[in-house]
Amino acid sequence: MKKRFLAAVAVTATAVVALAGCASGTQAGSGGSVKTLTHAQALTAKSADDFGGMAGLEAAAKKEGHLNVITLPPSWANYGKIIAGFEKKYPEIKINSENPDGSSADEVAAAKSQKGQSTAPDVFDLGTAVMNQNLDLLAPYQVQNWSKVQDDWKDSTDSKWIYDYTGLMSIGYDTKKFPKGIKKLDDLLDPQFKNAVAIKGDPTQANEALSAVTMAALQSGGKVDDIQPGIDFFQKLKQAGNYLGTLPTQATVAQGETPVVIQWSFNNVGWGPAAGSAGNPNWKTVVLPGTGFGSYYNQAINVDAPNPAAARLWEEYLYSPEVQNLYLAAGAYPAMLPAMKKDGTVDKAVLQKVGDAPSDFVQLDADNAAKASALLTAKWAAAIG
C-alpha cells in the first residue's frame, strides 16, 4: 500500500513538472524580428539577440511572469529599491525573494536541491570562492553592457559570470556613544569600546566576517597572502574585552546593542541615516586609510533556471546605468563605474556624496582565499574562544 501511495506521488509530481514545463515552453509570437523561443532554447540563450533583441527578451520574460531571486536582503547594497524598481518597470513579472539572509553557499544548495522545480533560484549573487567551486551551475550569458565591464572583471572565455559590485571593509560606529571617533584600527582596543565591536558572524563561515579579519590584517602589517596579523588583532580585541559576540543586524545597530560593526561599506551606509526611521541616525561609516579591502560579488544565471527569460532580463536590468547608480548610492561600487564615469551616465551627485572608489584596494584571489580558510580553521576558534 505504501509503495502504491509513493508511486502515485511520483506520478503526480512528474505530471506537475511536465505541465509546468509546457506552460513556460509556449511563447507568444509577436512579429517583427522578435523570436519566440521554447523553454529549452531560452535556457541556452547567450544574449538578448537570441530573443531577437530586448523587446523579444522582455516579451518572453513577461510571458513567464515570475522571477526567483535568492539571498538579497533589502538593506544590502540597495536591493530593496532595486527589486522594487524591477517590479515597477515590469509589473507583469512577480519577484519571489527567497531566503534573504542566506549565504552564497545557501544559493548553491537551493539550486541543487530544488533543481527542476518552479521554486529554484533563477539568478545568483555569489561570492567568488563559492562560485569557483560551482561553475557547472552557471549558464553562459552576455548582457548588452558586457563590454562596459573591464575584461579581468568578467568570465571572458565562457561568459558565465561578471563582477557586479563591491563594498570596502569599513567600520561603522555610533557617534553619540563614541564622539572621539575612530582614526585607526588600534583605536578599537581602547577601553571605551568595551563589549562594543562586532563582526558579521564566524569567519570560518561567512565571507563578510573573513573580510573583516583580512582588513584587520592589512591594517596591522599583514598581506592578503597571510592574514595571521588579523587573527592576532581579534585575539587582542577579545582579551581587551572589546569584542562582542552578537551577530549585528540593522535592528541591533538601531537599538544600540552593537555600537561598532566592521562590515561592508554598503551595509554600514545602508543601516545608518540612509535607512530613515529603520536606521541609526548617528551611524557613521569609516574606511580606514591605507590599502582598502574589497570583494566583488558576481552575477550569474542558474543553468536550470525555471524562468530563463526573466533571469536574463533581470541581468540586463542590473547592468543598466540606472541600477548601477542605485548600488553606488548604497556605498557599493558597481563594476560599470569606470565606464559610466567615462560616458557620463554616472549619477554625479551620488558619486560626490559616496566618494570615488579607491584605485588601490585589494581582493583575495583563489590561492589567498584557500590559505586564509586553512589558517582560520586552525587558529580562529582558539583566538576568539
Residues that bind other proteins (CB under 8 A): 1-2, 5, 102-106, 109, 127, 129-130, 133, 191, 194-195, 198-207, 209-210, 241, 244-247, 251-252, 255-257, 369, 372-373, 376-377, 380-382, 384-385
8 A C-beta contact, residue 296 and residue 161 = no
Name residues whose C-beta falls within 8 Å of residue 148's C-beta, 6 or more positions apart in sequence: 319, 336, 339, 340
Least Å distance, CB 178 to other proteins, is: 12
Distance between CA atoms of residues 267 and 169, nearest Å: 10
8 A C-beta contact, residue 159 and residue 341 = no
Least Å distance, CB 321 to other proteins, is: 30
Nearer to other proteins, 199 or 287 (CB): 199
Nearer to other proteins, 247 or 303 (CB): 247
* Residue 302 backbone phi and psi in degrees, to 5: -65, 130
Distance between CA atoms of residues 175 and 43, nearest Å: 50
Least Å distance, CB 150 to other proteins, is: 25
Nearer to other proteins, 15 or 366 (CB): 366
Nearer to other proteins, 23 or 378 (CB): 378
Nearer to other proteins, 341 or 371 (CB): 371
126 three-class SS? strand
* Residue 331 backbone phi and psi in degrees, to 5: 90, 15
Least Å distance, CB 102 to other proteins, is: 8
Least Å distance, CB 93 to other proteins, is: 29
Nearer to other proteins, 177 or 184 (CB): 177
Distance between CA atoms of residues 65 and 67, nearest Å: 7
DSSP codes, 136-176:
GGEE----TTGGGS-GGGB-TTT---EEEEE-BEEEEEETT
Distance between CA atoms of residues 369 and 349, nearest Å: 36
Nearer to other proteins, 40 or 251 (CB): 251
8 A C-beta contact, residue 101 and residue 75 = no
Distance between CA atoms of residues 162 and 300, nearest Å: 7
Least Å distance, CB 283 to other proteins, is: 15
Least Å distance, CB 202 to other proteins, is: 5
